[in-house]
Structure 1
Amino acid sequence: MAAHTPLSITRCLLSYSRSSNVYKRRCSAVLSLVRGCSTLHPQHDSLPSISDCNIHNGPIAHYNKLVESGLLREDFQQKAALWHLEQLHRGMAGYTNIPLTLPQPEVKIINDELTKISETKERCTAKKLYKDGHRKSDEVTSKEEWEEESQGCDAEKEPAKPPPPRGCYIHGGVGTGKTMLMDLFYSHVKNSRKKRVHFNSFMLDVHRRIHHLKQSLPKRRIGKMTMYDPIFPVAIEIAAETCLLCLDEFQVVDIADAMILKQLFEGLFSCGVVLVTTSNRSPEELYKNGLQRAAFVPFIGVLKEHCYNASLDTGIDYRRRQMVPSGKFYYISSEPDAEVAVNTMFDELASRQNDVTRPRVLNIHSREITLSRTCGTIADCTFQELCDRPLGASDYLEIARRFDTVIIRNVPRLKVGLKDQVRRLITLIDIFYDQKVRVVVLAEAPLHLLFVGGPMSGEEERDRQMLDELGLINESWKRLTLFTAEEEVFAFQRTLSRLTEMQTEQYWLRGDRRRTLKHT
């Protein structure tokens, strides 16, 4: 039932006055949930109350144990950020945003929609049926009847809940422990309505929901123009599924994301969703110099209002410290026998698979993507296969789901002019790191020299054509990250740090899915 509830809420907001009687009965039940009928409350008796929470069992206690055992080095900025997470950990015990409470503007939208029913023949039929005593008890077909049902629910609903706990926005340089702190917090939260996901995956899901919602709208009649914004209903769907949302690597590089974030998160926060997120950027630096940034700036205020700001700016990259190397997994093509070594590694890994070496075709959203050389959970790819083609986060997520080890050959020395390829590589490594995919690289340059400045031939002309298409004729375009690749240069530092950690013994052990399966 839980899987159908979010979609039901959205459809009620969309089509209440245009649907059949059977469909309206379903909507009435869901609208009762939104307005707070206690009869539809999920049971949370197993969740501990705040008074039951003991700081000795929380994130700070766990962090101190890791420091005492030598697995972590004590960092006072990390502990300061962890203090906010400790408070939130206590506040989340027993917290729920169900029943959802729609903000007044959205209630007005529903009322306005229901008012239209009074002007239709359907209302007249409903009133006649009501007078004749044939109206079904669970059927709501007019505004007056809906208000009567709502008043009945309001009389039974619980007292108003306290406001949701304030979330946390953790930002800082690469390798400073942001994700570690968030995951430590997430693992200790005693709340069944929690969700942890990478920001790229989250935004993919949001866009997918928006698309499905638009597809479900009734067809427009000829001569009539219907304007509908699906972002808030999508926020309601997400809020119906979770009350704690943990997002790793919050970054805004896409104008499509930038334009919807304010409304999306206003909807989530108004529905009681608590946000914990990590980012390399401070809130003020998000989408810096992005196209149409002025429309994005109000979102920063929304974010700061609902989240504590925790900074980790020690300048220490812990991924590069106290890591035990696990063999060699980064090769430079100019080194003697580098390609032979990579071939030998593939053969050794493939020999452990119950499969043959063959091409693999992946079907992703009605598109076919061919990987030329695979064996079981091992994929032997080229940079051109993964980053020259117009692939995105959804494609890399599917590759990460199918393969636990990926070889990436022929990685060139990356320049600012290769903005598209650089961005894809950043997304690829972010997703592989999040999904614990093991990576072997055969590149043209050492890791610390892989990304250099300077445009490539033909890039300036391509950018000039894009400027003409966008109508940007003054000097302001020179500051836009679309053309400077500033965001890619900044984000690539995270990629280098993660590639460094991905060569360690700890990472390779976590990424061995065959070993994980044996222990489950």
Structure 2
Amino acid sequence: MDNKAAQHSVVRRSSPTGPVTVAYENKVDAGELRQDDAQFALAAKLDALHESLSSLPPVPVCTHKAKKSSSTSSGPLLLSLERTLASTQSFFRKMFDLWSFGPPPRGIYIHGPVGVGKSFLMDLFYASVDAPEENQSCNKNSHSHAKITKRRVHFHEFMLEVHHRIFVYKQKHPRDDALPIIAQQLAQEAQLLCFDEFQVTDVADAMILKRLFLLLLDLNVVVVATSNRAPEALYEGGINRSLFLPFIDMLKDTFDIISMENSSVDYRLETRADGQSYFWSNEDVYGKINDNIQAQLEKIFGGNASGTEAEIIPVLFGRTVKVTRLNDRCAWFNFSDLCYQPLGAADYIALCYRFPVIIMERVPQLDANHLNEARRFVTLIDACYESRTRLVLTAQVPLDELFVEFEAHVESNDGDGELIVNDKGGNSSSFATTMIRTKEGKYYEWSATGRVGVSLAQFSSANDLAFSFRRAASRLVEMGGKEWGRQ
């Protein structure tokens, strides 16, 4: 077996390789990774994209104009002439770019189970692409190419940002079309977008994705995305899914789809969880934490709390979240503080930006009796994972018993979805970003309201819910390592 691996190593090194493959092989040689054929093949695909970025056309200058109402002083005839001129200019600019650079490279959509290395390989690719400030020190022997702006972001965080930009724009221009302006802003900020955890569980996201992506592609933006869903399984079971199907067709037509579905090893579970981030006791979870665990939590908390005053953390859409026990680096909560309240991803992301360490006490076993709480908890785990925030938990059961499986299905009655849960199942919805406005003028994420038939049944399929539990358990193991976290 070892001789076979050595022979394979010689063969793969005898042919020219790009920067992603080189970085991957170096980690294998250093003993940081085991060689994986699916990962090696993906590295080669990413190398091909890396090479093609050298001929990437520039982002064209925006010619979009905000829609004017019929009462505009310029008059409908002049407005029509302006739009015709803008369209003509856009056509000739595209022809010039095609003649000078060729067509922009196709994006890559990578899907497969949890922990098989999708995000890891994408991150190697992302690191190999030179941003303008990084490219200045490159020499001719490096794998450098034309300067390109880039951004790597969790897909849900990106969509939260898009919704927030739309919200802000509409405050000033309520009748104008915000999406072309926002697409131009995004393209100017980053011509390479790398999305982690591409998933669609929100009707608002589903309705704008096709148009947003077409606008970005039209602006010569290249997208690389990882997902646990094949394109045809995106937004499965979602409300008005028929309106989303054209996006799936567009994705298949304009992206290279790479499957890692045959990879069954979850490499995260091989991480030794020895970073003292998960504590459990078989006492009543709402009773007193045992003294030994309490002492360890106090040690992790480190330092005194910052007086008696709470801190108000700003959140997107003009909302805030309150922290009552904190110091400069750590916030301390009960499970009920963050998961029984109408909080969502935007709140958790704001907390992660503010604190490198979050302690959460009294996490219950999550079963069919804690659907909405479990969904929020999974969302918090995802936010901590993406921002490398250390999440320290105390629970009443061991980690491998934290998420109890159950079955769920959706029944419809007069157009209103209702979630029916059978007591043996495993599901928590993943992200959703629709914002609703209350009578008092406050904005909340629809997914955070805990409304049965809205946050769960209408926006997520049972498969998405079940997967969220598996991903969360896998991530908690990885996040328990000694090296996890940020300074």
SS at match of 2:74: helix
Q: Is residue 100–residue 240 contact of structure 1 (8 Å, CA) maintained in 2?
A: no
What is the rounded CA distance, in whole Å, between the counterparts of 1:407 and 1:469 in structure 2?
Answer: 44
Matched, 1:497 2:448: no
Distance (Å, rounded) in 1 between the aligned partners of 2:83 and 2:224: 41
2:206 corresponds to which residue? 258
Gap change, CA 1:318 and 1:483, over 3 Å in 2: closer
- 2:267 maps to 318
| Match of residue 435 from structure 2 | none
Q: Evaluate the alpha carbon distance shift between residue 143 and residue 233 of structure 1 in structure 2; reply closer, same or farther with a 3 A threshold.
A: closer
Query: Could you say what secondary structure the match of 1:83 adopts?
Result: helix
After the TM superposition, which residues 345-384 of structure 1 pair with which residues of structure 2 at under 5 Å, given as runs? 345-352=296-303, 355-356=306-307, 359-364=310-315, 365-384=317-336
Report the Cα offset of residue 423 of structure 1: 2.1
Q: Deviations over 1:143-191 (max 9, x none)?
A: 59978x969x97xx77543111111111111111111011000000124
Contact 1:412 1:443 in 2 (8 A): yes
Offset, 1:342: 3.7
Q: Is the 8 A contact 1:236 1:268 kept in 2?
A: yes
| Alpha-carbon separation, structure 1, partners of 2:44 and 2:149 | 22
Q: Does 1:202 align with 2:202?
A: no
Deviation of the 1:330 alpha carbon: 1.4
- Mapping 1:74-89, distance limit 5 Å: 74-89=35-50
Q: How does 1:178-217 map to 2 (within 5 A)?
A: 178-190=118-130, 191-217=147-173
Q: 1: CA distance between counterparts of 2:291 and 2:81?
A: 75
Distance 1:91 1:416, change over 3 A: farther
Alpha-carbon distance between aligned partners in 2 of 1:502 and 1:344, rounded to the nearest angstrom: 21
Instruction: Decide whether the 8 Å contact of 2:367 with 2:405 is kept in 1.
Output: yes
The whole-number CA distance in structure 2 between the counterparts of 1:379 and 1:499 is: 18
Q: Structure 2 vs 1, CA of residues 338 and 320 (structure 1 numbering), >3 Å: closer, same or farther?
A: farther
Greater alpha carbon shift after TM alignment, 267-276 vs 357-366: 357-366
Give the letter aligned to residue 494 of structure 1: R
What is the match of residue 392 of structure 1? 344
Task: Give the drift of 1:437.
Answer: 0.5
The answer to whether the 8 Å contact 2:55/2:101 transfers is no
Deviation at 1:340, TM superposition (A): 2.6
Note closer, same or farther for the CA distance 1:57–1:81 as it changes in structure 2 (3 Å cut): closer
Counterparts of 1:308-347 in structure 2, within 5 Å, are: 308-313=256-261, 314-321=263-270, 323-334=271-282, 339-347=290-298
Larger radius of gyration: 1
- Render the CA deviation track for 1:208-255: whole Å, top value 9, x for unaligned: 11112222216xxxxxxx6x5433332222122221100010111111
Whether 1:287 and 2:235 are equivalent positions in the alignment is yes
Deviation at 1:93, TM superposition (A): 3.2
String of CA shifts for 1:289-329, please: whole Å, max 9, x gaps: 112111111111111222211122311010111x2433432
Partner residue, 1:428: 380
Asked if structure 2 preserves the Cα contact closer than 8 Å seen for 1:288 and 1:481, the reply is no
- Kept in 1: contact 2:110–2:259 (CA 8 A): yes
Q: 2:253 aligns with which of 289, 305, 321?
A: 305
Runs of 4 or more, structure 1, over 6 Å off, are 109-113, 144-147
Contact 2:417 2:457 in 1 (8 A): no
Cα offset, 1:353, TM superposition: 6.8
In the alignment of these two chains, the number of paired residues is: 414
Distance, in Å, in 1 between the alignment partners of 2:124 and 2:308 is 39
- Quick one: which of 62, 85, 92 aligns to 2:23? 62
Shift of 1:265: 0.8
Identity of aligned residues (%): 35
Q: In structure 2, what residue type is equivalent to 1:177?
A: G
Q: CA deviation at 1:118?
A: 5.7
State whether residues 191 and 221 of structure 2, in contact with CA within 8 Å, keep that contact through their aligned partners in structure 1.
Answer: yes
Task: Say which of 230, 235, 245 aligns to 2:183.
Answer: 235
> Would the alpha carbon gap of residues 416 and 91 (structure 1) be closer, same or farther in structure 2, given more than 3 Å must change?
farther
Q: Distance in 1 between matches of 2:43 and 2:83?
A: 51
CA distance in 1, matches of 2:482, 2:319: 36
Letter in structure 1 aligned against 2:201: V
Instruction: Report the equivalent of 2:353.
Output: 401
What is the root-mean-square deviation of aligned Cα atoms in Å? 3.9
5+ residue gaps, structure 1, are 1-53, 124-139, 219-225, 514-520
Q: State the shift of 1:56 in Å.
A: 5.0
Aligned to 2:108: 168
- Which amino acid in structure 2 is aligned with residue 303 of structure 1? L
C-alpha contact 1:171 1:310 (8 A) present in aligned 2 = yes
> 1:343 deviation in Å?
2.4
- Contact preservation (8 Å) 1:81, 1:311: no
Which residue of the partner structure matches residue 71 of structure 1? 32
Which residue matches 2:137?
A: none
Give the AA of the match of 2:302. Answer: S
Give the 3-state SS of the residue equivalent to 2:274 in structure 1: coil
Contact 1:255 1:291 in 2 (8 A): yes
CA distance in 2, matches of 1:343, 1:252: 39
Partner residue, 2:138: none
The Cα offsets for residues 325-358 of structure 1, whole Å up to 9 and x where unpaired, read as 3343212231699543342233223435795576
Q: 1:380 to 1:118 in 2, by over 3 A?
A: closer
Give 3-state SS (helix, strand or coil) of 2:324's partner.
strand
Question: Counterpart of 2:36 in structure 1: which amino acid?
Answer: D
Q: TM-score, normalised by structure 2?
A: 0.75
**Contact 1:356–1:376, Cα closer than 8 Å, also in 2:** no
Q: Which moved more, 1:371-380 or 1:93-102?
A: 93-102
Deviation at 1:506, TM superposition (A): 2.6
Unaligned 5+ segments in structure 2 are: 1-14, 131-146, 421-452
